[in-house]
Amino acid sequence: SATGTNSRSGQTINLINRSAAPGHLQQLLTKIIYYLCLLDGVLTVILLIAAVIRGENILEMLPFLAMMFIASIPVAMPSTFALSNSFEATRLSKEGVLTSDLTGIQDAANLNLLLLDKTGTITENKTAVA
């Protein structure tokens, strides 16, 4: 029986994680996770120094430190983003929109103004808003 990344669900998660380039929102959240890891590392060092100063058993603190890391770092975030993007693409396809890039959905959601015209933009390098 396969386990971990060799199991069917593990292979599916790996495929989802490698399926598309990260969008702007995913890059932002990756930075947040990075800073959370740094904060956890600093807190771990502070707690270990405090435990040594107080003369406490460091081995008894290991489960707490592990719990702190696990609770503060969202491990399934890349898979969650890919899944939500695929749901959005499915919803758009029911409206007749063909989505070729799942991260483009997030980028389009951040638009404040979209200018479209049939002629003039490329040939004259001008846009006209009417």
DSSP 8-state symbol, 96: T
Per-position b or e across 3-35, b if 16+ CB within 10 A of its CB: eeeeeeeeeebeebeeebebbeebeebeeebee
Encoded tokens for 115: 């200018």
Question: DSSP H helical segments within the chain, as ranges?
Answer: 8-18, 24-54, 58-72, 77-94, 102-109, 121-124
SS3 content of the chain, % helix, strand, coil (to 5): 70, 0, 30
State yes or no: is 101 an active-site residue.
Answer: no
Set 40, 101, 107, 117: catalytic member? 117
Instruction: Fill in the amino acid letter for 12.
Output: T
Active-site residues, by number, are 117
